[in-house]
Amino acid sequence: MINKHIVIISLFLCLLSIAHSSVSRMLLADEGNNKIHYFDLENEANNWSVNTPDGNRQMQLIGDSLLLVNHTSGYYIINLSSHQIEKTYKGGLGGIRSALRMPNGHTFLARSVNSATVIELDKEDKTIRTFDFPNTGTLRCMHVTAQHTFLIGSNGLLMESDTNGDIIWKKDLSSIISSPQAYQVERLANGNIMASFGYGKKTVLIDTSGEMLQEFPSSTHGDSIYANFFGGFHLMKNGHLVQSNWVGHGSGQGDKGRQVIEYDSLGNMIWCWKQDDNIISSLHSVLVMDNLNPKYLHTYMDGPLTPFAKFTITSPKSGDDWPANSTQNITWTTTGTIDSVKLEYGINGNWTLITASAPNTGSYTWQLPDSGLTPVKIRISSTDSYINKTQDTSFIISKILSANPVPGEKFTFYINGKPISIQKPVSRLNIYDLSGKCIRIIASPKNHSKHTLDVPPGLYIIRFINSQVTHLIAL
């Protein structure tokens, strides 16, 4: 009687909570039928399926509306617009459990035959290197962190490796999870680890010491869910976890349980999906496409699944000294797909727009403001609000950059070759670092006198004692 009540309550919650779900569009890896499915829960006319005859397990959006899917000896690339396989790569090896595309175009394959092996392919699918993880047991999925290390799960073991194959840390959770078969492992932005554990029928959040912070589910499911094997999951930006529940090998499994389950951040089940057993057999993984843009490469490198993009400002460099009211080129490099950028400059935390939108060519010509002697930051960001990426660097706008005295100015001093000019003689120069520590005093400096400071490169404050003038200079 108790089990019957649990079944009824579980079914009621699944139906009641659908209005509160974060899910309406999904990509599903159906291991049982060897298919990738797209389901639009609001308009079934948009649904489609693609055959993956050599299997499937892990899915990744790699940009340009393409989906990377591993199979047993390599990977597929599926066009999400045409619903066709664009490329099939077979490397001649079996046991491929995971495929990941990197921002530089390289692909990592994880192979599991007795123990784990990671293979790196270049853009032309030529093997660059391989490295082994002996005595690791069965590997299922591998992921790459923001630190460019690998997270791997095997049975009850979670571990992190550097790109040389050396183990950074291992944690064995076999003592706290029953029948663990580690599947997907991700590091969140705060350093905590989230991992699904297959026949352990749960996904867990642990801290860096291995202490359990949260379990998904937080309480036992009813029999209607038929929790069997927790495979791939999708961690949403709102903190919800959308979990696949694999129910068995081969076709004809689709009548079993609920194979997509959504939990809130406290592990409470808020939604579950009854799959169509005429289409689906047994799901290995799920990607929730709501609020995802397949135009971009996506990774878990920054926590929840996000588009990968990175700016690096190459000019100005930190500490550069640019003349006020001059024309300068701001330059940068980009990793990832970003069409246009916004540029700003900031003084004391107050930002002023340089341009609201410019083509992402890597260069922008800027007319500097006519104000000098100011520490300034340049900030670059994507104009697409979907790409939450910015980069900034500090430099100086100065009116005194010429080696010759400015007309009308009576005194010019040179410090490490940099000119400093003022309107009247001074009795003393005090030179400070940015912490306020005085590092040099020059008494009664003479016009055109040259002074050398043995200091590390950086920003320094020059204070003229009897003129109430302060300069900021890069040395």
pLDDT of residue 325: 78
DSSP β-bridge partners for residue 205? 194, 214
**Calpha distance 316→391 (Å, rounded):** 12
**324 vs 70 pLDDT, higher one:** 70
Query: What is the DSSP track for 325-337?
Result: T-EEEEEEEEES-
Please state, in angstroms and rounded to a whole number, the distance separating the CA atoms of residues 372 and 233: 53
Beta bridge partners of 309: none
CB 27 within 8 A of CB 289: yes
* Distance (Å, whole) CA 296 – CA 262: 25
- The CA-based angle 398-400-404, given to 5 degrees, is 155
DSSP 317-378: PTT-EEETT-EEEEEEEEES---EEEEEEEETTEEEEEEEEEE-SSEEEEE--S--SEEEEE
pLDDT band at 402 (very low <50, low <70, confident <90, very high): very low
pLDDT at residue 269 greater than cutoff 90: yes
Tokens of 362: 């890597």
Q: Which phi and psi angles does 6 have, rounded to 5°?
A: -65, -40
Q: Which amino acid is at 356?
A: A
Within 8 A by CB and 6+ apart from 36, the residues are 27, 28, 29, 30, 49, 50, 52, 56, 59, 67, 69, 78
Q: Model confidence over 96-122: pLDDT tens digits?
A: 999 999 888 999 999 988 778 889 999
Find, among 370, 371, 316, the residue nearest to 343 by Cα. Answer: 316
Q: Look over the chain and give the mean of its residue pLDDT values, rounded to a whole number.
A: 83
What does the pLDDT look like over 157-205, one tens digit per residue?
A: 898 888 777 888 888 888 888 888 899 999 988 889 999 999 999 999 9
